[in-house]
Structure 1
């Protein structure tokens, strides 16, 4: 019976061969297995914590800025310096990995930093052998209270006291995230510590801003004898849009207006300028600055009424004086570039307060619809890589309740050296985990090609059809000999990233795998190492988990007022720019190139390799149809008589008992799914070099993929690529033309373009109508099926009558030049 049924999709494969780019399952020693626990998905690591709180009674000249220096064997780090004082307060925490400690003592030196030299105050030494070991079960608040330690100079005289706390702990300690991990091969000062520490980034809440200009009245030109064309230019930060040029100063036909991207707390200003055009020259007539926070918020598709604003021109109004407003008139605060108040008008009347500077009675008034589109989800990443699908409105976030929890444990990495330090390969690596509005950056493990992170994070899940992204970067801000790079900062290097789709994970199961870090560049594909992760998805609401499959993937506004593909891509680039700007101002900053890599900002660039990959993906997805067609062809040709006879029997049963058609189809799908369950994939998806077509890509194709826009390649190379693209498009053009020809022939059969063919077709329709009316349907279906599956003896090699008839129908290819 297995030979009778057609082959379905390719059987779900097991783990791919253990090649260079394959994933490997690992068995780390995890601390626990319960969901929601802290640091249960990573191995236990012990650290020496040193908390330097403050100092008092320092006996010195007081002309320097005091700071504390910690020395532990070959490791050295310093606190931040405090301006001239004898009682400085630092409250800095440092952590040293216990497995790297080889010294029995910890030395703490108090120094003073001056303009050209440093002053030594004194030091104290602590014996690490008397410290108790880290307990097996560490509580977050288990750190000891700080104590005062005396500070002696080189002569043994007391020079003051320093308050510190020293203890052994693990990652569960409350100071782990804020501590500076100072076990580096070079000294770690306060400036370097700010660029290597762990941090959580909160992505700003983004919202679309809709601006729709409807009408302008009372425009005054410099040349008052003319009435010219005008347009309105709207500007929000670096985003600029303009209306079309209009003679009647109305834009009723622009129904949707323009969209901008803004970030909470919406303290920026929208600038609208009315510009006149004459003989190709532009003249700014007036402008308005409106605070975003004053816009009306819309969460649904309800209409927004337009408002009238005064267009002020600088020559007609004083900038130095704020206009007083009467009661009932709303004031819109302006930016520092324009101090004049913006007055909200009645629909046609301009109100002027008493005692205010005189406003030109012909000052322009602009009618505009301004609103914050809080019902949309601002897309900062491709739709198929979304990590959060909730809308911008906080009140609408409740519509998608929390259905689970995803936990991620970043264990360790084994990397390729990205730099040379002291004659050996080295790397300064850190990881960034992105999901939803919470991004986590691990500490930078300096001077190591096998960094051990062992940090765990968790996120609430509101839609499990989302993607968790983990990327590994090389911190290029650290110099070869330690410290920060002097001069202009350089870009951090992406070593690779891992994407985990939560819907492919079994609930409650812990996935621990070593993922290869694959990097693609103009020279080809290269493995930069591997990253070991543990991830677990646990659901808190089984009913809500299954209900998400019936909900739309995006908020309702994306379907009520859909955005075009061009709009989505343009707004996505602006959203990435805003996120990069906000996260770049944090300490430590997340650099722009890191945000772009995490958000896939270059996903829509032209690539011959990606085009081939998508084509073969489509061919593989349609393979079951091709396999079914080939199977039916062999049935009709009686390649296996047993199979053909069995198909005849099954076909006769289904025709005689049509009520069994749908039950049989669904039972077949049920049994096929149950069979595939035994062969279901046990391992998560990862980068597949075969599907990506990086192994077969030509070097010139990769060089073209990483070319900038506009191109920076020589004209000869650009001409060669253009010719190659023309030849490819010629083949695509031929295929599209053949499809259009067949579609036109099917349509022309009823248009009497060929009167004889249309007459024959209508005569055939009449005969078939009479036959199907007089003959039972089962008999017609059986005769049709038996005719299609007739024996090869009854066939001929020539095309049949219907194919010949269809081939002779006319098409519009005769109309082409």
Structure 2
């Protein structure tokens, strides 16, 4: 029997019909792992927890000096306060603040426990409180004051009239908290240099899109064998903003053709789209998908309305020092950015990159790194539930989950970036020394004439500086990049 399907990617039957030619090559339910799919990241919130104080806390043990602290936990995110000595009236004061990451729908609870450090290896729980995240108010600005609340703690002790093996619950202590969900922050899941989205959590604060990004994933060429039997089952993953896309898996081909097209709304042109290629290792058994390579395209380098079709090298840094950077093949892409509002796009350049809350109440670098790791874990857990799942190793590679690891190559690259940043100041100092030494008499005379004019007419200093900046900007605008960096166009270097 022969079945023929004719249609486009917009049809509902596309995902089933498009992979039917490869379904016969997989077994043990592996056909579910070769389909194309569009994913959406969960809506993420920052949860601010301010642990103020506790009252009527009575340690059960009298044989040691009480060292009490509060442990706050959401799933695998754990924070602890400092140790606080117990006063005569059984009150404790901490006034410490912690940040968590939570995802909608709110399935987890905020669990608070007051514990006593009985020994270096043992903590005794004196009270416990579990609160669903949906009970906390959502703050969309830094101005509203979040009101604090008292909560009763559940204390578990031995029952007086029951069997000693059973426990009864009695309310004795209480804790003072100030908790809110922050909707004016952008929850960071990427490094700032490769950010693909800067919108705050709350959609009420979103601005209208300034353009549309269209990505055509054409195919790949000259991929290296990734499996022991000399095969490669490649698929491609692209991510921009909250939207992830995954192409179908092409079985046993070193030059797969995908020919799939996807679109994104663009809210800021100063963002990046990330595209990576993986080898599917879950067709017949469960395994980790292997990395083939990854590229990034800055939207600010795309000329509006123009289709950029290029082949990009897929490079992977091997752990072996002898191998280093290895080319795994080439990825063929077609990209077009269409601006729908030049006025809104120009207005974006007059505003900071991140929402206002990041500058009013900024995080430390340690907090940003910790929250980012927690965010990556939440996204990986949620997208891993889909069919086909977007696996944890894929999410971590796309979002640079191992960025905190030290690398000699990354250190060298950062050093050269710093030197490039300071090269202008170093060049200006060298030029000033040449002027002082009369290495170029004509230049020195002109500088002295300009200096005398500015001394005579100091009101011309600022106009002269601004004119110089405008002239330099116009001059460099002529040589601006008119397409994405890297890649080859029609077989020639782009």
1:279/1:594 CA distance change after superposition, 3 Å: closer
SS of the residue corresponding to residue 685 of structure 1 reads coil
Q: Calculate the aligned-residue CA RMSD, in Å.
A: 2.6
SS of the residue corresponding to residue 5 of structure 2 reads strand
SS of the residue corresponding to residue 166 of structure 1 reads coil
Q: Could you tell me which residue of structure 1 aligns to residue 428 of structure 2?
A: 628
Q: Could you tell me which residue of structure 1 aligns to residue 71 of structure 2?
A: 233
User: How far did 1:279 drift?
Assistant: 5.0
1:543-570 Cα distance to aligned partner (Å, 9 max, x none):
1111111222222222222111111111
Q: Do structure 1's residue 368 and structure 2's residue 197 form an aligned pair?
A: no
Distance 2:59 2:428 in 1: 72
Alignment of structure 1 residues 541-620 onto 2, 5 Å: 541-620=341-420
In structure 1, list runs of 5 or more residues that go unmatched.
1-106, 108-125, 127-164, 319-339, 341-357, 479-483, 688-817
Q: Could you tell me which residue of structure 2 aligns to residue 110 of structure 1?
A: none
1:710-733 Cα distance to aligned partner (Å, 9 max, x none):
xxxxxxxxxxxxxxxxxxxxxxxx
1:273 to 113, 124, 127: 113
Q: Could you tell me which residue of structure 1 aligns to residue 490 of structure 2?
A: none
1:449/1:631 CA distance change after superposition, 3 Å: same
User: How far did 1:452 drift?
Assistant: 0.6
Q: Could you tell me which residue of structure 2 aligns to residue 806 of structure 1?
A: none
Q: Could you tell me which residue of structure 1 aligns to residue 439 of structure 2?
A: 639
Alignment of structure 1 residues 438-449 onto 2, 5 Å: 438-449=243-254
Q: Could you tell me which residue of structure 2 aligns to residue 286 of structure 1?
A: 127
Distance 2:448 2:170 in 1: 91
1:300 to 135, 141, 151: 141
Q: Could you tell me which residue of structure 1 aligns to residue 188 of structure 2?
A: 379
Alignment of structure 1 residues 142-291 onto 2, 5 Å: 166-184=4-22, 187-188=25-26, 191-223=29-61, 228-247=66-85, 248=87, 252=93, 254-255=95-96, 257-278=97-118, 280=120, 281-291=122-132
Q: Could you tell me which residue of structure 1 aligns to residue 202 of structure 2?
A: 393
Distance 2:274 2:371 in 1: 22
Task: Tell me, yes or no, if the aligned pair for 2:150 and 2:175 is still in contact at 8 Å.
Answer: yes
User: How far did 1:504 drift?
Assistant: 2.3
Task: Tell me, yes or no, if the aligned pair for 2:34 and 2:248 is still in contact at 8 Å.
Answer: yes
1:629/1:370 CA distance change after superposition, 3 Å: closer
SS of the residue corresponding to residue 313 of structure 2 reads strand
Task: Tell me, yes or no, if the aligned pair for 2:53 and 2:94 is still in contact at 8 Å.
Answer: no
Distance 1:279 1:626 in 2: 58
Distance 1:612 1:421 in 2: 34
Task: Tell me, yes or no, if the aligned pair for 2:82 and 2:94 is still in contact at 8 Å.
Answer: no
Distance 2:141 2:455 in 1: 51
User: How far did 1:417 drift?
Assistant: 2.3
Q: Do structure 1's residue 451 and structure 2's residue 247 form an aligned pair?
A: no
Task: Tell me, yes or no, if the aligned pair for 2:49 and 2:179 is still in contact at 8 Å.
Answer: yes
SS of the residue corresponding to residue 6 of structure 2 reads strand
2:269 to 436, 460, 464: 464
1:452/1:219 CA distance change after superposition, 3 Å: same
Task: Tell me, yes or no, if the aligned pair for 2:301 and 2:484 is still in contact at 8 Å.
Answer: yes
Q: Do structure 1's residue 534 and structure 2's residue 334 form an aligned pair?
A: yes
Task: Tell me, yes or no, if the aligned pair for 1:180 and 1:196 is still in contact at 8 Å.
Answer: no
Task: Tell me, yes or no, if the aligned pair for 1:261 and 1:574 is still in contact at 8 Å.
Answer: yes
Q: Could you tell me which residue of structure 2 aligns to residue 476 of structure 1?
A: 281
Alignment of structure 1 residues 619-698 onto 2, 5 Å: 619-686=419-486
Distance 2:450 2:153 in 1: 79
User: How far did 1:477 drift?
Assistant: 1.8
Task: Tell me, yes or no, if the aligned pair for 1:214 and 1:250 is still in contact at 8 Å.
Answer: no
1:269/1:253 CA distance change after superposition, 3 Å: closer
User: How far did 1:682 drift?
Assistant: 3.1
Q: Could you tell me which residue of structure 1 aligns to residue 491 of structure 2?
A: none
Alignment of structure 1 residues 468-507 onto 2, 5 Å: 468-478=273-283, 484-485=284-285, 489-507=286-304
1:224/1:447 CA distance change after superposition, 3 Å: same
Q: Could you tell me which residue of structure 2 aligns to residue 413 of structure 1?
A: 220
Structure ranking higher in strand proportion? 2
Task: Tell me, yes or no, if the aligned pair for 1:179 and 1:197 is still in contact at 8 Å.
Answer: no
Task: Tell me, yes or no, if the aligned pair for 1:196 and 1:588 is still in contact at 8 Å.
Answer: yes
Q: Could you tell me which residue of structure 2 aligns to residue 514 of structure 1?
A: 311
Distance 1:200 1:666 in 2: 48
Distance 1:395 1:229 in 2: 45
In structure 2, list runs of 5 or more residues that go unmatched.
161-166, 488-494
TM-score (norm 2): 0.88
1:630/1:370 CA distance change after superposition, 3 Å: closer
Q: Which has the higher contact order (CA 8 A, sep 6+)?
A: 2
1:477-511 Cα distance to aligned partner (Å, 9 max, x none):
23xxxxx12xxx32211111111111222222221
1:180-205 Cα distance to aligned partner (Å, 9 max, x none):
51334953457121000001111111
